[in-house]
Structure 1
Amino acid sequence: MRRHFLAFGFAVFTALPVFAVNLDAAQAAYDRADFPRAMLLFRGEAERGDARAQYLLGALFESGKAMPRNDEQAAFWYERSADQDQPEAMLALARMHASGSGVPRDASQAVSWLKQAAALGDAKGAYELSRCYAEGRGVPRDDTEAFRWLLQAALAGLEEAQLGVGRLLEAGIGTTRDDAQAMAWYRKASLQGSVQARARIGMLYQYGRGVEQDSERAIRWYRRAAADGDLIAAQQLAGLLLTGSTEVGARREALAWYRFAAEAGSAAAMRELGLAYENGATGKPDPLAARAWYESAAAVGDPIACIRLAGVYLEGRGVARSYHRALQLYRQAALQENSDALNELGRMYAQGQGVTRDYANAYVLADIAATLGSAAAAADRDGYAEKLSEEQLRLARMAAGAWKPGAPLPVLAPV
């Protein structure tokens, strides 16, 4: 007979096999919410040395269900259980050392317990150990070790580890890039219900990585993932439907998926929905709807939406022309180091649109945009240089040259 307790963090309560009559009675007491009785019975078995009872008693102390929460007592019983090679107790101790609950906070000790659990073949222990190596918690960061432990967890059948192995193989982190193997692991995770794995399978089919490119299969996998709430899958599906079909039905479905993701908070979906309305994806262009969605995306900081919306105000498309609003929006995107926004902002300074004409400021902005990879900005910058005196050019070059990614933008006065 198997029943279930609550779970805490790594894994506190898991399926409980019946080792003795008292453990069965303790489980029954827990099921009917008689937590003091359950604790009494677990304590009796724990004091007689039963490792499983020691672990479950610790979990009751940590939960605070039978009495006020007592992390110190929880850690005491977890340690006695862990000393008898109980992996769940090791995971609980790792979690407590990581947070400093009931024991001194000690990331290296947390790693030590995870290593012991992983050495016993515990998939969750291997997975959490992989995360420690990937993030440099308690051990030096080591992508190769992170992949090794993640693979161990994946081979043991842990769904999130299978998804993670696929991602590392796809990115070539800690191992050689192998899209075909990534696909294989995504399929394993998908069979266990991983929605994200289904979205990644769709992506590999869409771009022909590790498999032959197949838009129809990509659409099918995206639909499965999107139907289960994956926002990236919904956006990719919408994009494929819009670009791959001229049928009104497909385009309406695309807008529905964009709207689904947008209403769930995706700034990218809001922006793409705005573009779809601007371009008349299912009929006539709708500039009012387009602007509304651009505004929504810009309000949550999407730089591309800021640029598109700035263009709407700059040209007065469906709205009164406003250089001031365009400047604000370009600046908002420029502060995120978007090269297109920086260059467009520089052009507004050069043309005196909403600000006093200022070729020096335009030069600085264009030079930074060029540094970030904009070829158009490099050409504009050279044109601005011809408008400056030697001293103005020297100062502008100095200001632009002093800028480093992540630093505030020089000369960029508030609009």
Structure 2
Amino acid sequence: MKKELHFERAEFAARVAAVKSEMGRRGIDILLLSEPANHNYLTGYNAYSFYTPQMVIVALNHDEPIWIGRFMDRISALMTTYLTDENIRAYSDRYVQSALSPYDFVADVAKELGGEKARIGVEMGGYYYSARAHADLVRALPLAQFVDADVLVNWIRIVKSPAEISIMRQAGRIADAMMERAIDTIEPGVRECDVAAAVYHQMMSGTPEFGGAYACTPPYLCIGERQIAPHAAWTDEPLPASTTINLELFGNRHRYQVNLSRSISVGKPASSYYKLADVVVEALNAGLESVRPGRTCSEVEDAFRHTLARHGFEKEARLGYSIGVGFPPAVGERTASLRKGDQTLLRPGMVFHMMPGLWLDDVGITITQSFAVTDRGHEPLTSTPRKLFVK
């Protein structure tokens, strides 16, 4: 059976070793991971199967992680992970959407690893760790001590390897192709849903060199009055002769996602909107130029904020967030943010989406840049010009 692995075994081993080191520092014997992005990061696992309970277990006394999932998804674990057969565990279908709890199965595997009285870390804030999951595990392992290990792996993921950065460059090129396709498609009379369809086609088609994959979220087409809503959905209405479109797209390659937003004016916009675009781009560039290893996320946000303030504007939301491996519902790693007060030190290999979107009372504008922190500054991961596009 052909393995669909995108990294060398040595890289996976280094990731697991880093997680075990942090577990040891925190006194955690067994780590139960529910987040699909962390499953992918530590094992390579990739399938749309996380709508049923799924876990990866990392134990200090066990060499490899153990994947646990539904019986029919075992084949995907064999195809997409480096794990040996004995470390791929599948529960039967009788556990799926029934009165039985698959977390009893998870608990039994944990017991094999000495988890009956162990200190067990769980992702209390994870999107895929429910209150029922926690209650069932506590019931099944009453003598264990459960501790919150949320974002333990996420903070290790925050610094990307050269191999990861290489894949994210490809994701950025897909995002550029998607944006180019969207801008080419946008014309008066074209239905909003047909713009979305063109974007989706390009998302999957990718570039002539490599294809894409589904993103963590749908693309956002914030059109007309919805330009002041950051995460609006499209309709089947035709585009009018004069309107504004705020478009946020996501290129995804091997589950690594790069975000890209641009504002497109259908018809000539007001002169004040041109000026607003110039202000946002000036502040965005100031933020990017301030990026250096050793500076804090807060210092980068400060450079942006002060530039914006000179023109009389203020951005209430954070300026950006760390990105990388992504599964629905969101690509953000839930770690560092480019915001006032975040003292996270920038390190080479970190990747952020700098999102200086402004949603004002009657207009919105989104011109953004995803970038990797380098030894001397930053590397843009997309090449679409940072400007207002006019059709």
| Structure-1-length-normalised TM-score | 0.21
Higher helix residue share? 1
Larger RCO of the pair (alpha carbons < 8 Å, separation 6+): 2
Q: Name whichever structure is richer in strand by fraction.
A: 2
- Pick the structure with greater CA Rg: 1
TM-score by length of 2: 0.22
